[in-house]
Amino acid sequence: MIALPLLGAAVLLFGGRRTDGWGPLAATLLSWASFVVGVLVILQLRGYAGEDRALQLPLWDWVAAGNLEVSAGLLMDPLSMTFVMLITFVGSLIHVYSLGYMEHDPDKRRFFGYLNLFVAAMLLLVLADSYMLLFVGWEGVGLASYLLIGFWNHNPAYASAANKAFIVNRVGDFGMVTAMALMFATFGALDYQTVHTSAAGAEPMTLTLLGLLLLVGACAKSAQFPLQSWLGDAMAGPTPVSALIHAATMVTAGIYLVARSQFIFNETPDAQLVVAIVGTITLVWGAIVGCAKDDIKKALAASTISQIGYMMLAVGLGPIGYTFAIFHLVTHGFFKAGLFLGSGSVMHGMKDRVDMRRYGALSREMIQTWLTFAAGWIAIIGVPFMSGWWSKDLIIEAAFVGEGWRPWVFGLAALITAGITAYYMSRVFFMTFHGKARWEDDIDPHESPLVMTVPMWILALGSVALGLVLWPTGILSAWLEPVFGAEVQHEPVIPVMAIQVVIFVLMLAGVGLAWWQYGREEVPVVAPYGSFATRAARRDLFQDDVNEILLRAPGAALVATSVEADEHVVEGATTGGATSALTGVAGVVRRAQNGFVRSYALTMLVGVVAILGAVWVMQ
């Protein structure tokens, strides 16, 4: 599974221009081949009893240094294989779509090489049987995302966006590396099995610290508060990259990390609570920002941050939320990939314009894009029986479970955000496809070619029907039961029926308000000045400003101070002092070499007297 896309990346990136003609197609076929291998492994696992559905594949002895011994190996269990299916299936559809989207790009061979590298790294991340090998995939995903986001790096803004993603993720790396060091010091091992069996005996403080460090890594990779600033700028990459990062791979890695580390979080309620708080803040943050974005891709990016926040909240709820989080991750992978590919199709027909205020009435010009985008829209806003309705509502209901303040804070935040989600996603839909046409005269909107629309239709079908297939049938919960245990039933503090009714009413209200503002009324092509809240949301709630004040400016000041100190104090003291000393010595020597014999005789006399004096003292 991993070797196939990795082979594709190696051939395309080292094969040079000789692979221009057939390379992209070969990369696509290798990605599909990896999917087929994954299906075969799942068929094999399904033949085993539930408790035996985990295949260990040792590879080689990797690290042997003192007490540290790490073997490289793969773990194929229901959790990792669920991710494998999502990564390879959705990732392969994105490969197919890219054949059309990147057709005229002179560097498309390199682009497909990066796509293959991304898929291989993500597969390594989820199939690793230890934190250390997971970290290799973790870094591989980071490298591939840097290359893809900055693919068109001739634009300085795009190169800067890639750098931003890379730097923010290094913060997460600090958390991961420190967590692994603490893990080794505590358990003497980094493989899941040993850590799992030893976690219950560790000190509570150690487990809490371990959980928080892992959360730092998860926040960076999954763009969660306060490390979410990179994801909006990552829209600089080609649109298939956005779909790949947001739907099938990178941003889900943090959720995978927390879910895979459940044996740690289950032992530390404090760290678990912090996970839930971070998820709650993030889901609200993303929804508010999404309400004010006029760039279609950035609006969808804010939506991703919010939806991943739902998943983070779910895994922070503990055993009642793990399966719901993975369920929403899977359905989100389909409807978010469909929405991003739909936005790419719109851009394809609109000469790469991304400002929704310059769209409108595209439903008549791009019927297939409109229909497939509509499927993703009704799924994410939670129209009953669509995929998002099944998975997101389960998380909201679980958030209302518990005692004290928690169900009211977590539940109400998740509930209200569902209404906000319906509003901003309907805003995107109506501004893009309905109302009056607002594009410039040189634009001729047209539908995308078949190679792009077919993947969009497949994702649309999944957006509509996947939830119905996976949940009422019990397929997914039964599949994940060996990892997360049997589904835990708890009663929310509000009856489930009441929660569902309120969600439905909020969803209708959100859609209705968006229709009133952006479907029925004329949309101005220049954004109004707006209220303070609107302006704040446009600026990502001043996140970059906060980062500038708290992180970059102090860092820059520290660097500047260090440079000044080095130049004028350290270097001055060292170089200047040494120079003065050498100059002084040189002056003495120069004066001694004056050419007068008497002077030389006097020097010799002084030397002889000094030597005799030294001998006398020593005797």
Query: Per residue in 505-531, pLDDT tens?
Result: 999 999 999 999 999 988 999 999 999
User: Does the bond joining 226 to the residue before it have cis omega, within 30 degrees of 0?
Assistant: yes
Residue 519, CA distances (Å) to 243, 273, 436 in order? 26, 41, 9
pLDDT (tens digit, 9 = 90+) per residue, 452-509?
999 999 999 999 999 999 999 999 999 999 999 887 777 899 999 999 999 999 999 9
Mean pLDDT of 106-124: 94
Mean pLDDT of 107-134: 95
Query: Residue 97 — very low, low, confident or very high, per pLDDT cuts 50/70/90?
Result: very high
Contact 116, 30 (CB under 8 A): yes
**pLDDT at position 591 over 80:** no
**Which residue do the tokens 């978010």 mark?**
336
Query: Residue 442 — very low, low, confident or very high, per pLDDT cuts 50/70/90?
Result: confident
Contact 123, 34 (CB under 8 A): yes
Residue 322, CA distances (Å) to 275, 410, 494 in order? 12, 16, 21
Closest C-alpha among 439, 323, 300, 447 to residue 377: 300
Higher pLDDT, 307 or 17: 307
**pLDDT at position 589 over 70:** no
Q: What is the pLDDT of residue 554?
A: 82
Longest dimension (CA), the chain: 114
What are the residue ranges spanned by the domains of the chain?
1-267, 548-618
Amino acid at site 5? P
Query: Residue 560 — very low, low, confident or very high, per pLDDT cuts 50/70/90?
Result: confident
What are 258's two structure tokens? 């927390």
**pLDDT at position 587 over 80:** no
**pLDDT at position 613 over 80:** no
Supply the DSSP string of 371-391, one letter for each residue. Answer: HHHHHHHHHHHT-TTSHHHHH
10: buried, middle or exposed (CB in 10 Å: 19+, 13-18, 0-12)? middle
Q: What is the pLDDT of residue 9?
A: 96
**pLDDT at position 552 over 90:** no
**pLDDT at position 586 over 80:** no
Report if pTM > 0.85.
yes
Q: How many helices (H) and strands (E) does the chain have?
A: 27, 2
**pLDDT at position 250 over 70:** yes
